[in-house]
Structure 1
Amino acid sequence: MYWFEKYKPELELIFAQAKTYINRYPPSLKEHGFRYIEAYNPLNETSTKNYICYLLPYWTQEATGITTEQCRQLSLAEVFIMLYLFLQDDVMDTRPAQIKEPLALSSLFYNTALSLYRQLFPSESPFWNAFDQCTAEWAEGVTQEGYANYFLTNPFHITLKAAPIKLAFEGAVYLGGRIHIQDVLSHEVNNALIALQMVDDYYDWEEDMAEGNYNSLLAWITYKLDLSSFEELTAATVRQSIFTLGHFDGFAQFALLLHHAPTVASELHDFQHLLIQVLVEEANRIQRQKELLFEGGFTHFLSIL
């Protein structure tokens, strides 16, 4: 994972600087802010590893031509915009009893992100159009989730909740003056986000089913079983689809198709490759297990003849 290991010193600087901003928050929210950022710090072993949130400016640096200092500034801004969105998502999904503190903290995260972006982009910069677009996509993603089965018709829609991640490369494109690669890079980032969501959905399908969240794997299985809606699925039918009927293999092959797109950012491409390999290797593991079970059953059958 050189696309991560080589940037550890940069991440140490960024998260240390992020903590200096949180240290300026009101005392009643400061400790909560510190705990929250540590839960998403990729340098902590037990943290949630959202690599793309903070490393996208670095992965696209060669393509966009921005400086290392500009990478740091964009990454730092992304830290706060993503902490804001993670907190918003937590509130929407879990509806905690103590809702005032997370909402107040998320507002501070958002304001910090805005102040960091303002240091990089003047008010007339086209970056702010991208900011508005990403915010609108995020809003669509969190409100439309569960109302449409869009994975098969428009896979891009499963990434809408992560749309603000794209502010990192959008900002880099404008800072580096490389507008001509914007569309190709946007397509590449979208494909990486689709692959990331597919991996998450494989590991989280049981939780998503219990909570009624949209899940691309469940959407795929609903289609393969020719069902009209997620409500017709049970945990047993999903497991049968994955481990007996072989439908997970098609899901992995769908992800593999994403990797054939043109690339202008090799480390982003490598990150996407890792995600797809997780799905492909899991599909292969499931197939090997089925073959071993079949061979064992056949051997047992022969032994009793």
Structure 2
Amino acid sequence: MSIEWSLESAKRESAAVFAQAREGTAACPEPLCGILRQLIDRADPSAREGGANFIAYLLPVWTGEQAGLRPDVSRELAVGSVYMMLHYFLLDDVMDGDEIGLGPKEALAAGQLLHSLFLERYERAVPGTAELWSRYRAYTGEWAQAVSQEGRHRAEPQDAAALAAKSAPVKIGAAAVWLAAGRPERIAGAEQAAELALASLQLADDWSDWRDDLAAGEERSNAFLTLARRALEPALPEEQPLEERLVRRAAYQFGAVERLAKLARDHREELEERLEAPPGLAGFHQAVLAGVEADARKMRQTASKLAVEGGFSHFLSNRLEL
């Protein structure tokens, strides 16, 4: 796989990674083996349109290319990362009370099998290193702290590390590569580079999910809704809940999406300064940024057109899609 990013190349590599991930479930007992394969099929981005959360499982491939690691070792870590990603996906769903058609017992049992498969792949690729698992415990701690405290404090869109914390275990993919390459001193920079990309991805996800989060009473967990509220200040008191019409006003009239795009651009600038950011990671981040900027641009054009035509107030007052 070329180190230059493209959606097509990412999907090709993902297809190979997910094919190996399916094969790796063969020894698991039924009916859980079938459940695992269904989960893998759902997450496989190679057979559907659009982008995906490529960083979760391709980070070892991107970092491996930069580190000069053998492609088969990077692929082994990527397959392990698929299992890890799905393990945390199931945990998140159980905590949210939504087990995607599985009961909690099946979801947790499947998740434990996935975690065992992840450990097996990583130990095979990076044998005999206590540092790897020490770092993984730290990443898991970041994740646990983030998900257990979610909603207690308002999401801070300017705190990249906090935004990335819910995806902190993803960083094990980069740490494992540099340990396998015998360059542990590169890990800290690689972690920071991954955090920047994960932070922008979280901002983009929060922008995409704001309506669902608002309806579910989870405003405080959504960083875009924090930006929307701040765009409306001081007219909107802290104790007054957000409503859809207010979010639309913040987005179209007060530039909340522009502010979100600006934060992602800041992440991009910082990422470009980091030697530990492999081209694949930088390309993935650029794709995330391009999507947010396209939405911001579309909203500017819509707002300008409606302002000229005199329909802006009507637009903001009605339930139209952003």
Q: Give the match for residue 22 of structure 1.
A: 25
Aligned mates of 1:148, 1:250 — CA distance in 2: 20
Aligned mates of 1:297, 1:229 — CA distance in 2: 31
- Go from structure 1 to structure 2 and tell me whether the alpha carbon gap of 1:150 and 1:246 turns closer, same or farther (over 3 Å shift): closer
Q: Give the match for residue 301 of structure 1.
A: none
SS in 2 for 1:233: coil
Runs of 4+ in 1 over 6 A off after TM superposition: none
TM-score, scaled relative to structure 1:
0.90
Match of 2:228 among 210, 221, 233: 221
1:46 to partner: Cα distance:
6.3
Match of 1:270 among 279, 283, 290: 283
The aligned runs of 1:69-218 (5 Å cut-off) are: 69-96=72-99, 98-152=103-157, 154-213=159-218, 214-218=221-225
Percent identity of equivalent pairs = 28
SS in 1 for 2:152: coil
Match of 1:256 among 243, 265, 268: 265
Is the CA contact (8 Å cut-off) linking 1:40 and 1:50 kept in structure 2? no
Is the CA contact (8 Å cut-off) linking 1:138 and 1:160 kept in structure 2? yes
Is the CA contact (8 Å cut-off) linking 1:87 and 1:106 kept in structure 2? yes
The amino acid of 2:9's aligned partner reads K
Q: List per-residue Cα deviations over 1:36-81 (Å, max 9, x = no partner).
A: 1111011121698221112111222233221101111110110111
TM-score, scaled relative to structure 2:
0.85
SS in 1 for 2:127: coil
Question: Is the aligned partner of 1:286 residue 2:299?
Answer: yes
Comparing 284-293 with 38-47, greater Cα deviation is found at 38-47
Q: How many residue pairs end up in the alignment?
A: 298
SS in 1 for 2:27: coil
The amino acid of 1:283's aligned partner reads A
SS in 1 for 2:46: coil
Aligned mates of 1:230, 1:132 — CA distance in 2: 38
1:168 to partner: Cα distance:
0.5
Is the CA contact (8 Å cut-off) linking 1:77 and 1:113 kept in structure 2? yes
Comparing 166-175 with 1-10, greater Cα deviation is found at 1-10
Is the CA contact (8 Å cut-off) linking 2:158 and 2:263 kept in structure 1? no
Unaligned runs of 5+ in 2: 312-322
Comparing 94-103 with 154-163, greater Cα deviation is found at 94-103
Unaligned runs of 5+ in 1: 299-305
1:150 to partner: Cα distance:
4.1
The amino acid of 1:250's aligned partner reads R
1:14 to partner: Cα distance:
2.3
Aligned mates of 1:47, 1:30 — CA distance in 2: 28
Aligned mates of 1:3, 1:68 — CA distance in 2: 18
Aligned mates of 1:124, 1:15 — CA distance in 2: 26
Aligned mates of 2:96, 2:44 — CA distance in 1: 22
Match of 2:254 among 237, 242, 245: 245
Comparing 262-271 with 196-205, greater Cα deviation is found at 262-271
RMSD of aligned residue pairs (Cα, Å): 2.3
The amino acid of 1:117's aligned partner reads Y
Aligned mates of 2:76, 2:288 — CA distance in 1: 27
Aligned mates of 1:208, 1:231 — CA distance in 2: 16
- Go from structure 1 to structure 2 and tell me whether the alpha carbon gap of 1:82 and 1:48 turns closer, same or farther (over 3 Å shift): farther
Aligned mates of 1:71, 1:124 — CA distance in 2: 17
